[in-house]
């Protein structure tokens, strides 16, 4: 029987640059740029996750948790590799200001690795994971990836990534609890990590909307109202939930067809460990 956190090696076909439509999610500018921003964010975050957790691995006294952390890191490494391939398409669009913003993001993570404590880093990882496991459930249930104006290759990439975020939803929480357990620090790190991500998303939306709007017209622009809705208003309840004292990823309601989707993706994989 495979472990509940399987390591799938996927072989996705990446669209060629000439074919790339920047409105690849439901033909919608805000939704598409949010996904683009997520792809750009995770290729910086995921190596940080792996380095941060590998550093504390020797401190984990529970054998089963150690294996879960190892599998969690290996899933994240796969995500990083696949997103890096798709990100080439976004980077080729030459968005003015994006390179400098990505450099700032890279500097942030380098600084966290160099100057912050293990507790800060594990808390940061948990702050991110506790938000994304919830939004992964919402996004997979939304039908967005089956939408007729969603590009199937991008839809496949995000479906796989989000499903695995749900598979490893307990791991960051468990390692944080195992090593530290302080509620207040955890809540503070949720706030900080999620702010960090949404600030990057808001900047990406602005940068992409300006450049694509200039090239393609009104359909390619996001409005201030939409940016506010997607990066502030809509995430509010999910963010708050991660910071409440009784929060645990074990309370998340997992959809009935989750196991089926998980099997489907394993069947598509080149290999599963």
Binding positions for Fe ion, rule: CB under 5 A: 76, 79, 165
Using the minimum distance from each CB to Fe ion, give the nearer residue, 26 or 50. Answer: 50
Closer Cβ to Fe ion, 29 or 144, answer by number: 144
Give min distance, CB of 266 to Fe ion, in A.
17
Nearer to Fe ion, 165 or 174 (CB): 165
Closest residue to Fe ion in the complex (CB): 79
Residue 51 vs 206, nearer CB to Fe ion:
51
Contact 197, 87 (CB under 8 A): no
In the complex, the smallest distance separating the C-beta of residue 172 from Fe ion, rounded to whole angstroms, is: 7
- Residue 273 Cβ, how far from Fe ion at the closest point, in Å? 17
Question: DSSP letters along 90-115, please?
Answer: HHTT--TTHHHHHHHHHHHHHHHHHH
Minimum gap (Å) between residue 42 Cβ and Fe ion: 6
- Comparing CB distances to Fe ion, the nearer of 165 and 203 is 165
Smallest separation, CB 85 to Fe ion (Å): 15
Q: Are 124 and 189 in contact (CB under 8 A)?
A: yes
């Amino acid at each position: 029987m495979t472990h509940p956190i399987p390591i799938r090696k996927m072989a996705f076909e990446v669209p060629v640059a000439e074919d790339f439509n920047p409105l690849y999610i439901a033909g919608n500018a805000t939704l598409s740029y949010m996904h683009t921003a997520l792809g750009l964010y995770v290729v910086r975050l995921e190596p940080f996750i792996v380095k941060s957790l590998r550093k504390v691995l020797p401190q984990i006294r529970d054998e089963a948790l150690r294996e879960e952390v190892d599998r969690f890191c290996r899933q994240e490494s796969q995500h990083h590799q696949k997103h890096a391939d798709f990100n080439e398409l976004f980077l080729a669009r030459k968005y003015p200001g994006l390179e400098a913003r990505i450099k700032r993001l890279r500097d942030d993570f380098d600084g966290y690795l160099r100057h912050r404590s293990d507790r800060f880093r594990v808390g940061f990882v948990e702050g991110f994971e506790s938000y994304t496991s919830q939004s992964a459930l919402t996004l997979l249930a939304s039908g967005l990836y089956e939408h007729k104006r969603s590009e199937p290759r991008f839809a496949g990439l995000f479906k796989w990534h989000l499903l695995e975020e749900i598979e490893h939803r307990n791991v960051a929480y468990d390692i944080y609890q195992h090593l530290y357990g302080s509620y207040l620090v955890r809540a503070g790190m949720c706030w900080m990590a999620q702010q960090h991500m949404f600030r990057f998303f808001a900047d990406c939306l602005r940068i992409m909307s300006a450049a694509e709007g200039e090239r393609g017209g009104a359909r390619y622009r996001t409005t201030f109202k939409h940016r506010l809705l997607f990066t502030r208003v809509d995430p509010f309840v999910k963010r708050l939930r991660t910071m409440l004292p009784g929060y645990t990823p074990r309370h998340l309601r997992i959809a009935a067809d989750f196991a089926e989707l998980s099997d489907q993706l394993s069947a598509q994989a080149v290999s599963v460990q």
